[in-house]
Homo-oligomer: A and B are copies of this chain.
Amino acid sequence: MTKDIAAILAHPQFRAACDALRDGHARYVDEIVTLTEIPAPPFKEERRAEAFRGMLAGYRLEDVALDGIGNVTGLRRGRGNGGIVVVSAHLDTVFPEGTDVTVRREGTRLFAPGVGDDTQGLGALLAFVRALDAAGIETEADLLFVADAGEEGKGDLRGIHHLFTEGDFRDRIGAFFSLDSPEPESVTVRGVGSHRYRVSFRGPGGHSYGDFGTVNPAHAMADVVAGMARWQVPAEPRTTFSASVFGGGSSINAIPQEVWVEIDLRSVDQPALDALDARLHALIAEATAAENARGDSSAGIITAEATRIGARPAGETAPDAPIIAACDAALAAFGFEMKRDTASTDSNIPMSLNIPAVTIGTGASGARAHTLEEWVDLEPGQSLRGLSAALAAILATAGLHVEG
């Protein structure tokens, strides 16, 4: 076996796989179009998952199936040496139901909501599976192909979270790739964790004049946000907070019965994120108690409820991890210069569990993700260099079985 990039690149079977990627490029593009045009709004990825399961059939994969959370998985068994390497892309898009997802082609460009983020990644999984079969490649570790649910927004990485906490393969996963961007040079090696809350402050309310002096939940909310404004947080590990969206109150002549604010806390470091989270909860308790002490609570007290509306763990792949070195070498071999990025992606989950993970690109160019003007350019030259580099990095991580 070998995990050496130079040896892999030189191996006839890898060259055969690259040929298969080249020969199948038109099909790769067509499959991206097909999948893009199957809507996959947040929490409604089922139709696309079913279609993808069908497209995964007929290859050297075991147990192609939908798991309990809505991920499609297919295991490509290796030689039994080295557990499982996950190769994933996410099913969901950010676009709500009813969005026109018709793909418009202009030369090598595809225009459509979700085409790059992350339908192209799904296409890459299919292209890899075919290329591996065509080249008769055997890996040392098993490869688990995963089209996962709930990467975006309130999906909260639930597909990959499930994979690592409840999935059948959870105890055997040794490395993790997420294909989730057109750009080939960006390799996400740090995962920004986030805790998101909607904090509601409630009280008895009353008439603004007649009941003046009654505790006002707006005062407690304001104390929380004013307190946050004065927080000092570390620049490294980068840690941030934002009071973002506000609402509540029913009438200008009423002391509100409820007001609320949505708060976003982030850090690349989980202990720092947990510390900030504790600080927020302490501030909420303090601000609420202060208003109850300050005002008249005979008609009722101010209470606060912090509902967690999002949680993504922070994590990092060790800078000297072989998976990063493999990406670096594979990209360099195909003419790309790796950039180590920090982002919030499916890799957050394995990173938080100290499982080596990277989020990589698929070799295209593209832009305007999360807008209706999203596009990717699948010009075959760069596209094939990117796909080949990614496949090389995966093989270097799983180990290429070499006969004799």
Contact = CB atoms under 8 A, between A and B. Distances in A.
Given A222-B225, A229-B222, A254 B244 contact: yes
Nearest to A217: B243
B264 A208 contact: yes
A248 B249 contact: no
Interface string A16-58: 0000000000000000000000000000000000000000000
Q: How many chain copies does the complex carry?
A: 2
A288 B225 CA distance: 14
A121 to B, nearest CB: 21
B243 A216 contact: yes
Contacts of A310: 252
Contact of A240 (B196, B212, B218, B294): B212
A131 interface: no
A124 interface: no
Interface stretch (A104-112, A162-170, A255-263, A391-399): A255-263
B262 A242 contact: no
A83 to B, nearest CB: 33
Interface of A: 192, 194, 196, 208-209, 212-213, 216, 218-219, 221-226, 228-230, 238, 240-256, 259, 261-264, 266, 291, 294, 309-310, 344
7 contacts: A208-B240, A222-B225, A222-B229, A222-B243, A229-B294, A230-B294, A252-B264
A87 to B, nearest CB: 27
A249 B240 contact: no
Given A208-B264, A223-B229, A244 B249 contact: yes
A245 B240 contact: no
A244 B253 contact: yes
Contacts of A222: 221-226, 228-229, 243
A73 B246 CA distance: 46
B229 A209 contact: no
A171 to B, nearest CB: 32
Contacts of A213: 240
B192 A242 contact: no
B252 A249 contact: no
Given A209-B266, A219-B226, A222-B229, A246 B244 contact: no
Contacts of A230: 294
Contacts of A344: 209
Contact of A244 (B218, B221, B238): B218
Contacts of A244: 208, 218, 249, 251-256
A242 B216 contact: yes
Contacts of A263: 252
A385 to B, nearest CB: 29
Given A248-B246, A252-B196, A252-B245, A218 B225 contact: yes
